[in-house]
Amino acid sequence: MSTLNETHDATLKSWVESANAEGSDFPIQNLPFGVFRRKGSHEAFRGGVAIGAEILDLGAAHRAGLFSGEAAAAAANCSGAALNTFMAMGPSAWAALRLALSRALRAGATHTDKLRGCLVPQAQAEHAVPAEIGDYTDFFASIHHATNVGKLFRPDSPLLPNYKWVPIGYHGRGSSIGVSGQSFPRPRGQKMPPGASEPVFGPSKRLDYELEIGIYIGVGNALGHPIPIAEAERHVFGLGLLNDWSARDIQAWEYQPLGPFLAKSFATTLSPWIVTLEALAPYRVAWTRPAGDPQPLPYLDSPETRARGALDVQLETWLETAQMRASGALPARLSHSSMKHAYWTIGQMVAHHTVNGCNLQPGDLFGSGTLSGPTAGEEGSLLELSVGGKQPVALGNGETRAFLEDGDCVILRAWCERGGCARIGFGDCRGTVGPPAS
């Protein structure tokens, strides 16, 4: 797991003044990676780093000769339309480039005139998915989400017997993953109405979001060679926000016996920036398992996991309806939770995914599963907030929602902060529901 170093110094300031603004998601202590181009242009997408309200074009900075050694090689691999080659280089290269960027962007750094020419305002940029995603696995890491949903269908036994023993996941669809700003038509499929004897076909009426963290694999592993939990996080490049949209009525009819299919394959939305695990090092907390619960099997346990395997990433969901946009009203906050409540850690997900010999590849994506917390107001989906649609959520402007309506925009946000450390954020993850395709 990443340790603290000079890049985490909370007193550091940048010569990019917007990075020093209170509440900025992108101070110099963050430096997340993404892929961008100027909005509305025909430029090639290329790698960049967010700093305040700007993006540093990594390819341009490399061509200007602003990096050397391992950092230069790493920056060269950020010039393309996806970050996979850079991600495959491993922790040493990731850390070398992060350190070089930190030093180059600090107040008082040399070559600032050259670097200014490599900046593009974020307001003038558009983004692509930051990695070419070969495979996407969605986990079920929040026991609070699993329990809340289980109670709706199995009140007397909400958790299935395997939940506390195994990090459960399913193979998702990579082709429909999009970046923040994604719009998609309301999905259609088969549904079984209550009391009906046969299914009907049509648009989903119980469309939902899921508040998740996306986990990007950096270095892969060879087929047949499991990743031990002690080495698992060396294979993880970083994290982003992920909205795993879900058609609950389609899902209820199709998910047995093989799990989710059309209910989730129509769209998944990612935030544009990947916050590295190194940047998140100050926000690690102990991972615990209740004494009365089964303790993890040995391949899923380690002293380091217990000591600081969890991450205190604050998570929020906001909803902007079409009526709010038309009236100029602000979005309504639906929930606030933390990733620290997850029942399974990132390292445990990696170790379990590969324990059978499965090979991961650079750019593979994990979803954490919906990250709900233990108390009211921490639910990560409308299914939970509305208690299966029975108690619609009041939005504060006279509107209510049991499930999403056409025109609704869901906004996910995340950040980390603690005493003595700089606040760092993930940027928004926005997605909008459109009407069904004709």
Which residues are catalytically annotated? 145
* Cis status, amide bond into 130, omega within 30 of 0: no
d(CA 345, CA 355): 15
Q: Which residues pair with 239 in a beta bridge?
A: 215, 275
Q: Which residues pair with 128 in a beta bridge?
A: 35
Backbone angles phi, psi at 376, to 5 degrees: -60, 140
Helix (H), strand (E) at residue 190: strand 188-191
What is the DSSP secondary-structure string of 291-344? TTSPPPPGGG--HHHHHH-EE--EEEEEEE-HHHHHHTPPPEEEEEEEGGG-SS
Q: Which residues pair with 136 in a beta bridge?
A: 365
CA atoms within 13 A on the CB side of 173: 17
- Give CA separation, 82 vs 131, 159, 253, in Å: 5, 39, 37
d(CA 372, CA 380): 5
Give the residue carrying structure tokens 């046969």: 198
Q: For 275, which DSSP code? A: E
d(CA 421, CA 418): 6
CA-CA-CA-CA torsion sign (379, 288, 369, 217): positive
Structure tokens at 125: 């940029």
